[in-house]
Structure 1
Amino acid sequence: MTTTATTATTTTATTATTTTSTTTMSTITFIPSGIYALTIPTCATWNQTGITVAGNQNGTYGSDLSSIYSPVSIFVDNNYVLYVTDRDNNRIMKYYANATIGIVVAGNLTAGNSSTQLNSPKGIAVDQYGSVIVSDSSNYRIQQFVSGSMIGITLANHSQVVKYYPYNSIGVVLAPTNGTGSGANQLSAPYGNFIDGNGALYIADAGNHRVQMWPAGATTGITVAGITGSPGSNSSQLRNPYSIIVDNNGYIYVADGGNSRIMKWTTNYTAGGICVVGCTGVSGVAVNQLHTPRDLKFDASGNLYISDQANHRIQKFMIQLPTTNCTMSKYI
C-alpha cells in the first residue's frame, strides 16, 4: 500500500489509485481492490443516455439515503459496488449494484473533526481489504475507515503531492513545489491526479485549463491535454478539468468540468480530444447532459461512471462495442 498527499480532488491509477482533496488538502495513493489495469478497446464508444445510479435523476439534492448533495469523488470496485463522497452531507455513501438506496459507511450529516466525523470530504478510494480512504478536505487530513468501522484513522495531513511507502512516515515529494503559475514546472489550482503503470504522474491543472504529465523522476511537466491558459470548448481546449484516468493504451479521459463533458485524448496529444459523453454543448439535467462533472471511473466492464456534481447525482454510461473486430475491455 502506497500513500500520497496533494492539493487536488481525486483520481484513479493503473497500478495505483489516488484520493484527493482540494486547495490545501490532498491525496492518498495505494493498491486498490484488484482493478485498475484498464484496457479499453480503441473502438469503444458510450451510450449517450445516462442512467442515474445514485442520487435523484431530476437533479434535486437531499440528505435521505436515496439522495446526495454535491458529490465529488467516486470509486467502483471489482463487484460493481459504488462509493460516493457525499460532500455537503459530510458522509461517504455505498451503493451495491442496482441498488437505489445507499448505505452510510463513514461520517454523518454533521460536519466535525472527531474520528467519526468528516467535513466536506472530496476524495475517496477503497483498498484491497475494503478499507475506505477519504480526503477529508476541510479537516486537512486523510482518513482511513477499516471495513465495517465508522471510526476513522488519520493517515496524513499535508499540502503537497507526497508519496508514502508502507510503514514509513517519511514521504517523497512527487509534484513540483515551484509555486503557482503556468510554467511547465508549475500548477494552478490542481485537482485530480493519476499515476500510470510506468510511474508517470498526470495532474488535472484546472487553473491552467490543461492536463500535465510528469514522467517518473521528471522535474518538468508536459501538457498532454488542453491549451495552457486558454479555456474554451473546442476539441483542443478544456475549461477547469477536474479528474483524469489514463488507460493501458495511454488514452487520457478527462472530466472537463467547466464544459460539462467528458473528453478523450489519444497519445497524439496535439490532435485534440474527442467528446465521449455530455456532448450537447450545454450543461443540464437531461439524461444526455451533465453539469460540472467532478470525477469519472470505469467499472470492470468498461462502463463509465460520472460524478455529476451540480446535478447531485451519479450517472452511468454503458459501453458500446462493435460486433466485430473489437475486444471487450477488462481489468487485468
Structure 2
Amino acid sequence: MPRFVNATDAGYVYVVNANKGNVEQFKLDNAPTSKTNPTVVASNLYNPWGVYVTSDAVYVSDSFNHQVKRYAHGASPTSGGVVVAGGNGVGPAQNKLIYPLGLFVDCSGNIYIADSGNNRVQRWAPGAKSGCTVAGNPNGQKGTGLNELSTPEDVRFDKQGNMFVSDTGNYRVLKFAPGSSTGVSVAGNGYQANGFNAPIGFYVDACDTVYLGAGQGVIKFPPGSNGTGIPLFGGPIGYSGGITIDTDGNFYVGLRGANTVQKFTLLSSSGV
C-alpha cells in the first residue's frame, strides 16, 4: 500500500510501501524495469508513513515505532538507519511522538513532523534529544480552533517560510505564517461544506496553490479560494494519499485502494 511519495530534482520518486515496511526508489524514465524493479533504500520499518528526501539522506516516519529515521544516501537499507526524532516511547512529552506521519526537512536540517497521535506539529533541530511544538497544543489535546489540530497527517513549507498542515480530523488545511501558532484555513472547512473527505497528503507549489489528496481525488485550491477547491483528478483514481509534483509539472499520486502510484498531467485525467 503506497503512502506518501516524494519526487526529487535528480529524477527519482520515493514511495513508502507500508505493506512491505520499506521505502522504494523509482527512476523517472521510460525503461519498463524502472516501474517494476525499484531500489529499496530503507527497510524493516513498522507501518512507515511519510518520506522526505534531501541531497544527502532519506527521512522516513517509522510510525508504529513512534520515531523518525534518517538513512544516508548509499547506506544499506537494512542498516536500521539513525533515529533522529522520537524513539522514547509514546506520550505528550516533548521528547516523544505518537504515530508520526508526514514530515518536512528544511535547509538547516530541522525536521517538522505531523505528530498525529499528539495532535500537533513538532520541530526537531539536528542532533536534538527533544522537539518543540510549532502548531497545535503542546500537551497533545485535540481541538477545532485555528490554534489547534486534530490528527494532522502532513506538513509542508513554501519558499516564504509559511507552514501548511493537513488538519485531517478537522477536514481542512491550515497555513501558519512564520512564527505564528495560529493558522488560517486555506483548503476546506469541513466535509459537508466542501464535498471532500478528510485531507491526507498534499503539495504546495511556488504560487502557494494547494493540491490536496482528499477521499476520492485531487483537489486544487488556488490562493484566495476561501476553502473552495477545483477537482482535478477524481472518481476513477480511487482513494488518494500522498501527492508530489516533479520539475516538469507531472503529478504522482499514491492510490491506496489500488496499491499503485500513478502519474498524471493537467492535460489528462487518466494516469500512466
Partner residue, 2:22: 141
> How many residue pairs get matched?
196
Distance in 1, Cα, partners of 2:85 & 2:220: 32
Task: State the identity %.
Answer: 33
Residue 232 of structure 1: how far off its partner (Å): 1.5
Partner residue, 1:256: 167
Residue 263 of structure 1: how far off its partner (Å): 0.6
Partner residue, 1:168: 75
Q: 1:256 to 1:128 in 2, by over 3 A?
A: same
* Residue 205 (structure 1) aligned to one of 115, 125, 128: 115
Partner residue, 2:196: 290
Residue 236 of structure 1: how far off its partner (Å): 1.4
SS at match of 2:35: coil
> CA contact under 8 A between 2:186 and 2:223: conserved in structure 1?
no
Residue 320 of structure 1: how far off its partner (Å): 4.5
Give the partner amino acid of 2:155: I
Partner residue, 2:35: 150
Give the partner amino acid of 2:42: A
Partner residue, 1:327: none
Distance in 2, Cα, partners of 1:242 & 1:122: 11
- CA RMSD in angstroms, aligned pairs only: 2.1
Give the partner amino acid of 2:23: I
Structure 1: gaps (5+ residues): 1-119, 322-330
Greater length-normalized contact order (CA 8 Å, ≥ 6 residues apart): 1
> CA contact under 8 A between 2:158 and 2:206: conserved in structure 1?
no
Structure 2: gaps (5+ residues): 46-61, 63-67, 226-246, 248-272
Partner residue, 2:186: 276
Q: 1:264 to 1:283 in 2, by over 3 A?
A: same
Structure number with the higher strand fraction is 2
What do the CA deviations read for 1:172-198 (whole angstroms, capped 9, x no partner)? 321121011110000111110111111
Report the more deviating stretch, 245-254 or 220-229. 245-254
SS at match of 1:138: coil
**Pairing 1:169-188 to 2, within 5 Å after superposition:** 169=76, 171-188=81-98
Partner residue, 1:314: 218
Distance in 1, Cα, partners of 2:86 & 2:10: 32
Residue 296 of structure 1: how far off its partner (Å): 1.6
Distance in 2, Cα, partners of 1:157 & 1:230: 32
SS at match of 2:91: coil
What do the CA deviations read for 1:4-47 (whole angstroms, capped 9, x no partner)? xxxxxxxxxxxxxxxxxxxxxxxxxxxxxxxxxxxxxxxxxxxx
Q: 1:251 to 1:299 in 2, by over 3 A?
A: closer
Residue 289 of structure 1: how far off its partner (Å): 4.4
Distance in 2, Cα, partners of 1:257 & 1:162: 23
Give the partner amino acid of 2:93: G
> CA contact under 8 A between 2:157 and 2:204: conserved in structure 1?
no
Report the TM-score when normalising by structure 1.
0.55
What do the CA deviations read for 1:41-73 (whole angstroms, capped 9, x no partner)? xxxxxxxxxxxxxxxxxxxxxxxxxxxxxxxxx
> CA contact under 8 A between 1:261 and 1:290: conserved in structure 2?
no
Could you list the runs of 4 or more consecutive aligned residues of structure 1 that deviate by over 6 angstroms after TM superposition? none
Correspondence 1:229 to 2:115: no
Distance in 2, Cα, partners of 1:168 & 1:139: 19
